[in-house]
Structure 1
Amino acid sequence: MLDIFATDPEAKAAREEREQKREAATRPEWSFQFRSGKRVGRQPVSLRHWRITTPKLETAQALKELFGGTIGEAPNGDYALDTERDRIEVIVNASRIESKLIQWADGLPIHECDGSKFLSPEDDKGKPCGCPGLLDERKELAKQRRGPKPNIVVPVRLPQDEDLGQGKYTATAWSFAEDLPYTMRALSRIEGDALCVLRLEHVEYEVKGEKREFTKPVLDVVSSYNDAIAADPED
């Protein structure tokens, strides 16, 4: 087997440190993750119904009991449940939502900003990030892989079975980022946990007579979770 580090232990140590950072960035510990798309070969495909991935078979089986669907395998080796639901109730706490713009390379973030200032690395934190001011220009640079795109992490729990632990949905769609200020405004009116609906909205439109379509992820704020529990006649 090839071993290019055999005579250079310092290079090997540096490479292993980068690999640990890459794994930490890409494989955080979550019980499950909502997915609004998947890859077929190398082609990304939007989904009409939620896919939920998890490293544990028992979690996948419990999720199947709740939402139906079929269990398969995700590209990273996790279990993947392709549900029969385009909308699922979730519990969200606004204080735990993380939002930023990130550009990735080789599994590591090379540009992290809040849209106007760098968030990392530490030496650049707070400095102007250089992103264009116009939204369309930001989108075009991201499309060309020359600029960052949204990375919004929404931690969630399931009101149907809170014992399943903490999951998340990571939104990278610009439409979700554009909705976020209004979603956060609605969440700000609620103290503590909120009952929300995570849904996939199918959108069709025409460009020069050509039909196009896509799936838009949306987070709808319903009410305070405590109020929802209090109003449930089964409790």
Structure 2
Amino acid sequence: MTQNSAARAGRFHMGRLSEGRPQSLDAWRVTTDDADVAAGVAGLLGGEPRPQKGEGGGLAYEVLTNHESVRVLLDGPDAVAAHMILRGSQGIIHECDGVEFLSPEQKKGQPCGCPPLLEDRKRAARDGHGPMPSAEVTFQIAAAPKLGTFHFMTGSWQMAAQLSDLVDALERVGGSAVCDLTMELVAFTTKAGIDVCYRKPVVTVLGSPDSVAAEPPSPAEPTPAPAPSARRRKARVAPEPSTPPKPESSIPVSVDAALLGRAAQLLGTSDHQETVIAALSEIVAGRQKAAELARLREQVGRIAAIAEQALQGQDSSLT
């Protein structure tokens, strides 16, 4: 996998430096030296161009978009470059493709000695004597390819594990391929019961530009309610119940991540979906209990009335 040497219009990032500290983001951040490119990205992906702060030597402008997934064009397998790099105090001391050295020059082409299994490579890197992955993807934004070529660089082990399948998928398309570049949310609970949440980069190959739209479809519109006349016709077909139930009011729902986190702790759930399901189950159970209590109260009232009538016909000393 060779690296695309085309001039770059900008770079995509999953994080930034804030007051000297790394900060992860929930949507793509784009940096560029071109004010027109920054304005074009903001028009497509949201956000506003602004001078970049907090990163010495960085590009002049940044756009904090509101998109966690962007539809892009990759120009075949050559749009993906993958290296394994180990840096020392004097710079790069080991660079390979997982099989052969790429540098230093005197070792280029020789076996690099890296373990074949990804888990073994991760262990060597964690111990400080093995290289880390360095992947780069070059692409155009599918809805506006004239903005130029962008690139995204990552040291993600998850991305490294995906690269072989990604290259195979690009080869099957044969030429320019439409893909989704996504910051995928990963959430899980460790064995120690600690909730972990982070985002990983994922490239999904969708097909050729002839068969895939440059922009993902908009969310489906809600189905409109039937007209009053249609509801009346439907009501006449089925017999009406003697005591029609009262329609429940519609309650707007907003999601509060902190509230969901506290609810997860109380309910003992491991992700947001399980938390919502458990909470709804509690609500349903509560309604069922309330309905059962109402029925019991009604039955107790009937028993009391029968007992009162029976007692009225007997000796007054019993009342």
TM over 0.5: same fold?
yes
1:76-225 to structure 2, matched below 5 A, reads 76-78=57-59, 79-93=61-75, 94-105=77-88, 108-143=91-126, 145-207=128-190, 208-225=192-209
Q: CA deviation at 1:226?
A: 3.3
Identical amino acids, percent of aligned pairs:
33
Q: Distance in 1 between matches of 2:62 and 2:112?
A: 37
Q: Is the 8 A contact 2:118 2:161 kept in 1?
A: no
1:31 is paired with a residue whose SS is: strand
Q: CA deviation at 1:144?
A: 5.1
Q: Does 1:31 align with 2:15?
A: no
Q: Is the 8 A contact 2:80 2:167 kept in 1?
A: no
Moved more, 83-92 or 219-228: 219-228
Report Cα offsets for 1:189-234 as digits up to 9, x if no partner: 111100000001111111110111110110010111233369xxxx
Q: Distance in 2 between matches of 1:70 and 1:141?
A: 42
- The Cα RMSD (Å) is 2.3
1:90 alignment partner AA: V
Task: Determine which of 15, 19, 28 is the counterpart of 1:50.
Answer: 28
Q: How many residues are treated as equivalent by the alignment?
A: 203
Q: Distance in 2 between matches of 1:107 and 1:163?
A: 40
Q: CA deviation at 1:71?
A: 3.0
Q: Is the 8 A contact 2:7 2:149 kept in 1?
A: no
Q: Is the 8 A contact 1:193 1:226 kept in 2?
A: no
1:62 alignment partner AA: G
Structure number with bigger Rg: 2
Greater RCO structure (CA 8 Å; 6+ sep): 1
2:105 is paired with a residue whose SS is: coil
Q: Distance in 2 between matches of 1:215 and 1:144?
A: 24
Q: CA deviation at 1:120?
A: 1.4
1:136 is paired with a residue whose SS is: helix
Q: CA deviation at 1:50?
A: 0.4
Q: Distance in 2 between matches of 1:99 and 1:128?
A: 17
Greater fraction of residues in strand: 1
Unmatched segments (≥5 aa) in structure 1: 1-27, 231-235
Q: Distance in 1 between matches of 2:183 and 2:105?
A: 37
Structure 2 CA distance for partners of 1:107 and 1:89, relative to 1, 3 Å: farther
Q: Distance in 2 between matches of 1:132 and 1:159?
A: 37
Unmatched segments (≥5 aa) in structure 2: 1-5, 215-319
Q: Does 1:40 align with 2:23?
A: no
Q: Is the 8 A contact 2:96 2:112 kept in 1?
A: yes
2:180 alignment partner AA: V
Question: Normalising to structure 2: TM-score of the pair?
Answer: 0.58
